[in-house]
Amino acid sequence: MYSEKVMDHFNHPRNVGEIENASGVGTVGNAKCGDIMRMYLDIDENQIIRDVKFKTFGCGAAVATSSMATELVKGKTVNEALQVTNKAVMEALDGLPPVKVHCSLLAEEAIHAALWDYAEKHGIEIEGLEKPVNDIGEKEEAPEEEY
Ligand code: FES
């Protein structure tokens, strides 16, 4: 059901933890499953993401997608990090079962929320970044069946 890459990132998640005095912190939740994700970004003066950490109260797919997402945004500029969509993360993981696709949104939204926090704190605007939602349930396209 899960690809080897998903299992690897679930069993050995990268970049778990917190960053003290992070440049930006973002927390999002999914009201439907109750899972929560928090992302910490350390961004240097050239707007490059020096370090990233995450913590989650989430399912295995949320852990694996966040782990991969942190690997993909590390070393990138804030603008490049915006291109790391949940689709890009899923591709990098060789896919997710359809009922778990919404879990990958937690990582994307948490990164966006952390970037938003960074931009607000530093008085800058990041082109293409939209105000984050607190609950990704608002973003899910089609209502999913109960599972
Ligand atoms: Fe909630 Fe996966 S079931 S994030």
**pLDDT for residue 54:** 97
Looking at residue 31, what is its pLDDT? 83
What is the reported pLDDT for 14? 98
Among protein residues, the one with the nearest Cα to ligand 1's atom 4 is 103
- Token pair of 66, please? 């966040």
Give the number of other Cβ atoms within 10 Å of residue 43's Cβ. 22
Q: How far apart are CA 96 and CA 46, in angstroms?
A: 34
User: How far, in Å, is the centroid of ligand 1 from the Cα of 102?
Assistant: 7
> pLDDT by residue (tens digit) across 39-87?
999 999 999 999 999 999 999 999 999 999 999 999 999 999 999 999 9
Residue pLDDT, tens place only, 105-123 = 999 999 999 999 999 999 9
Query: Which pTM value belongs to this model?
Result: 0.90
Beta-carbon-side half-sphere exposure of residue 69 (alpha carbons within 13 Å): 33
pLDDT of res. 141: 53
Spatial distance between the Cα atoms of 72 and 55, rounded to a whole number of angstroms: 16
Ligand 1 atom with least separation from CA of 33: 1
Is the CB of 13 inside a 6 Å radius of any atom of ligand 1? no
Ligand 1 mutation target, pool 10, 27, 33, most atoms within 8 A of CB: 33
Q: Using the mean position of ligand 1's atoms as its centre, give its distance from the Cα of residue 39 in Å.
A: 16
> Which one is catalytic: 7, 16, 33, 133?
33
